[in-house]
Structure 1
Amino acid sequence: MITQNKRLIGIVLTVALLLFIPLLAMQFTDEVNWTLLDFIVAGVLLLGTGLLCELVIRTVKNMDYRVGIIAVILVALFLIWVELAVGIFGTPFAGS
């Protein structure tokens, strides 16, 4: 139980740290220009991915399936992130 709670705290702290990077960059350069909505979407994506991976770790006992499912989750995060960032697929989500 304690290990699981430490992992959840680690997930939340990692998401906060990752969101702090663009916030810090915005203080020093105009190249990074995130809005509040950008931070919310990034936070939801990162936290959702972390919590989904935690759910898989807790429920899937077979290590091969666990690794495969987590890999699919991370690939989905990457594809969604890339689409929102540069619109590589041309969906309406990227503003294309």
Structure 2
Amino acid sequence: MINKPENSTASSRAFLWVALATGLILLIPLTAMQFTAEVNWDGFDFLVMGAQLFGMGSLFVLVSRKVPRRVRLLSAGAFLLAFLYLWAELAVGIFTSLGS
């Protein structure tokens, strides 16, 4: 099977969507901070979560282009589990002392 060359605008469009989704997700804690003292993020928290969201999203885009279509759902689940584990580990340190 011969692969078509990727169009650079179509290729970068996926990463723009990842960046947009990252920004929209980061608006949730930013908005919550305006209404409650329970959410207290500083700039470093936003930087780490933004890097994690954009990094995982970008890696998923790259991997999903290389795997067959029927494996994409499985890889999406693996990326979601990895994201949730890293998020919990950084927040409270389940298995290590990263979050403490």
TM-score, structure 1 normalization: 0.84
- Give the whole-Å Cα distance in 2 for the aligned partners of 1:21 and 1:68: 27
Task: Report which of the two has the higher share of helix.
Answer: 1
Equivalent residues of 1:56, 1:70 under 8 A apart: no
Once the two structures are superposed, what CA deviation does each residue of 1:5-58 show, in whole Å capped at 9, x if it has no partner?
A: 332211100000111111111112111000111111101110001000100122
Question: Which residue does 1:56 correspond to in 2?
Answer: 63
Question: Which residue does 1:84 correspond to in 2?
Answer: 90
TM-score, structure 2 normalization: 0.81
Residue correspondences, number: 93
Between the two proteins, what is the percent identity of the paired residues?
Answer: 42
- Alpha-carbon distance, 1:85 to partner: 2.0
- Aligned counterpart for 1:25 among listed residues 24, 28, 32: 32
- Alpha-carbon distance, 1:4 to partner: 3.2
* Partner SS, residue 92 of structure 1: coil
List runs of 5+ in structure 1 lacking aligned partners: none
- Give the whole-Å Cα distance in 1 for the aligned partners of 2:28 and 2:76: 24
List runs of 5+ in structure 2 lacking aligned partners: 1-6
For the pair shown, which has the larger CA radius of gyration, 1 or 2? 2
- Aligned counterpart for 1:43 among listed residues 47, 50, 69: 50
- What root-mean-square deviation, in Å, do the aligned CA atoms of Structure 1 and Structure 2 show? 1.6
